[in-house]
Amino acid sequence: MAMPYVSKLAFAQSPDRPFMPIPALVNGSDGPVSLKMQTGLWSFDGKIKTPTWGLSQDYMGPVVRTRRGAELALHYENTLAEAVSIHGHGLHVTGELDGGPQRAIRPGTSWSPILPIVQEAATLWYHSHTHKRTGPHVYNGLAGMIVIDDDNSDSLPLPRRYGIDDLPFIVQDKDFNQDGTLLYNKVGLGRFYAEHMTVNGIIQPRVEVPKGLVRLRLLNGSNGRFFNFTFTDTRVFHVIAGDGGFLEEPVEVTTLFVAPGERYELLVDFSDGLPATLRSVQAERGEGTSPAFNPIQGEQTICTFEVNPRIAPDLDVRVPPRLNDIAWLDPKEAHITRHFTMATINRKMVINGRMMDMARIDHRVQKGAVEIWDLDGDVHNFHAHGCSFQVLSINGKTPPAHMKCWKDTVITDAKASFIVRFDHTASDAFPYMFHCHLLEHEDMGMMGQFTVEA
Ligand code: C2O
Ligand code: CU
Ligand code: CU
């Protein structure tokens, strides 16, 4: 049977494309952060108005900044017409505060969690985690970034001028109907791919940078698209942090594979003054960064960096030789190995043969116990709540150097394993989730629940 034809909106390529917007920055130390889920109108191309959703803004939410040792007070208010759960992805908080599907905020109501921030400096994010509706909600705009600082991040000579040389960089793909509305066209059990690459909500934007070192806080906020980033001039850049914090040392790369939900912090040197185009290209297989079956779906232009000589570079920043000390977990200390097989069986998306059931707890974990989680399946993207973990292997090989940091999301590429210790509790009423972070897979049931018991 032929697929129904969907007429998509095309955009004229123009040399004066809009600049990449910088999301508002809200500091959690200034008092409770109000995040009002609302409808909005946003232009992805600088011209056409598209109905969107946002949190206290038209599309997506502000960057929320907090600090290790602080209490981050959030006030989520739902003015939308349907219930929404909002989850802090990568946050080490209890199940009660985690914002999973059980914590639905009904229309006209609010939720005001106070989150103790106990983890190290990292770039995290918050997004809708609504039962069976996460994909369309995130696509509409219910997502935003969280930045955690700590004494270590303060002491490093890294770019830290928000919006100038320290840039939130949220990459997503979007499709549009002829009338300019967002087109959410998920095809069967496949992955969701759209045609237009956006950064911070603008299609292939121009990004203004100083003539010097720039830090990108990269979040793949796509529903289902994998990216293999590279610059057209193949310039070298440094990965300095992954999902849950800094690497021990910067890792020099020319390409970087990033799955949905993953974050990396990059340092890119623009001191040559030349413009640079960031692309996503087909990945070569190898080293766990590129799956057996290539999910990139074509080459894409992401954005163009343009050096603006009027932006003064910060002359004190550099690529530090040392970034962090990571307490590595020892596989010999693991109490248990749990297996998770992600598969499509009879058109059902399952983990260990079962679809998500809010009434079923799949695993019961002891707080403080070291565990190994062994994943297999084809190309999926596994995420666990309430923790950061250390990747032990991908497809039987040691993970690439830029994954040697705390992570919370990992591509399975046939097989992967990680070591983890859960330090926070999650009850039967508010368990943690584990799931595929391809949002359509999650919505279709590739998710389960676990408690962490004291
Ligand atoms: Cu980013 Cu369970 O989610
Ligand atoms: Cu999460
Ligand atoms: Cu999946």
> Are 148 and 171 within one domain?
no
Can you read off the two tokens belonging to residue 415?
């097989």
Ligand 1 nearest atom to the CA of residue 447, by list position: 2
Atom of ligand 1 nearest to the CA of 261: 1
Rounded CA separation 360/103 (Å): 16
**In a domain? residue 273:** yes
Three state DSSP letters for 252-312: EECEEEECCCCEEEEEEECCCCCCEEEEECCCCCECCCECCCCCCCCCEEEEEEEECCCCC
Same domain for 447 and 342: yes
The DSSP bridge pattern shows strands 255-258 and 227-231 to be: antiparallel
Tell me which of 155, 183, 204 is where a domain ends: 155
285 plus 361 within the same structural domain: no
Tens of pLDDT, residue by residue over 290-313, are 444 455 567 899 999 999 999 999
Q: Report which protein residue has its CA nearest ligand 1's atom 3.
A: 89
What integer pLDDT is reported at residue 293 of this predicted model? Answer: 47
263 lines ligand 1 (CB under 6 A): no
- The rounded distance, in Å, linking the Cα atoms of 44 and 223 is 17
Within a domain: 403 = yes
Determine the Cα–Cα distance for residues 339 and 448; give it in Å rounded to an integer: 13
Read off the CATH number of the domain in which 120 is found.
2.60.40.420
**338 & 432 share domain:** yes
Domain count, the chain: 3
The bridge status of strand 50-55 relative to strand 348-351 is: unpaired
Measured torsion, CA atoms of residues 63, 66, 68, 69, in degrees rounded to the nearest 10: -150
The helix (H) or strand (E) run that includes residue 349 is strand 348-351
Spell out, as residue ranges, where the chain has pLDDT lower than 50. Answer: 1-5, 286-293
In this structure, which ligand is nearest to the CA of 88? 2
pLDDT of residue 7: 65
Residue having the nearest C-alpha atom to atom 1 of ligand 1: 89
List 381's β-bridge partners, or say none.
411
- State the residue for tokens 């974990």: 365
Looking at the structure, do residues 68 and 112 belong to the same domain, yes or no? yes
| Among candidate residues 307, 322, 343, the one where a domain is terminated | 307
Q: Are residues 291 and 354 in the same domain?
A: no
Q: How far apart are CA 120 and CA 155, in angstroms?
A: 13
Same domain, 30 and 98: yes
Instruction: Write the DSSP string, 189-225.
Output: TS----SEEEETTEES-EEEE-SSEEEEEEEE--SS-
Burial code (b: 16+ CB inside 10 Å, e: under 16) for 366-388 equals eeeebbbbebbbebbbbbbbbbb
The pLDDT, as a whole number, for residue 1 is 34
Looking at the structure, tell me whether residues 92 and 211 fall in a common domain: no
Q: Is 137 in the pocket of ligand 1 (CB under 6 A)?
A: no
Residue 48 and residue 71: Cα distance in Å, rounded?
A: 40
What's the domain range around 286? 166-307
Is residue 16 domain-resident?
A: no
**Statement to judge: residues 123 and 82 lie in one domain:** yes
Residue 78 domain-assigned (yes or no): yes
For residue 409, which atom of ligand 1 is closest to its CA?
1
Distance CA 408, CA 390 (A): 8
Q: What is the pLDDT of residue 9?
A: 75
Determine, yes or no, domain membership for 9.
no
Sheet of 363-366, strand order? 363-366, 447-453, 432-436, 381-384, 409-411
**Residue 380 domain flag:** yes
- Ligand 3 is a single-atom ion; what residues have CB below 5 A from it? 380, 436, 438, 441
Nearest ligand, measured from the Cα of 221:
1
SS3 category, 97: helix
| Tokens 């007070």 sit on residue | 73
Of the CA atoms within 13 Å of residue 248, those in its CB half-sphere come to 7
Torsion sign over Cα 366, 372, 374, 375: positive
Tens of pLDDT, residues 210-251: 999 999 999 999 999 989 999 999 999 999 999 999 999 999
For the Cβ of 127 lying below 6 angstroms from any atom of ligand 1, the answer is yes
Tell me what ipTM this predicted complex has: 0.99
User: CA 244, CA 120: separation in Å to the nearest integer?
Assistant: 8
In DSSP terms, 207 is beta-bridged to: 305
Is residue 317 situated within a structural domain?
A: no
Residue 125 alpha carbon to ligand 1 centre in Å: 9
Same domain, 141 and 81: yes
Strand 206-209 with 300-307, pairing: parallel
Does a structural domain hold residue 87? yes
Q: Which of 155, 184, 213 is the last residue of a domain?
A: 155
- Asked whether residue 147 falls in the same domain as residue 205, the answer is no
- Mark whether 303 and 388 lie in a shared domain: no
Burial code (b: 16+ CB inside 10 Å, e: under 16) for 222-233 equals bbbbbbbbbbee
Report the pLDDT value the prediction gives residue 419, as an integer from 0 to 100: 98
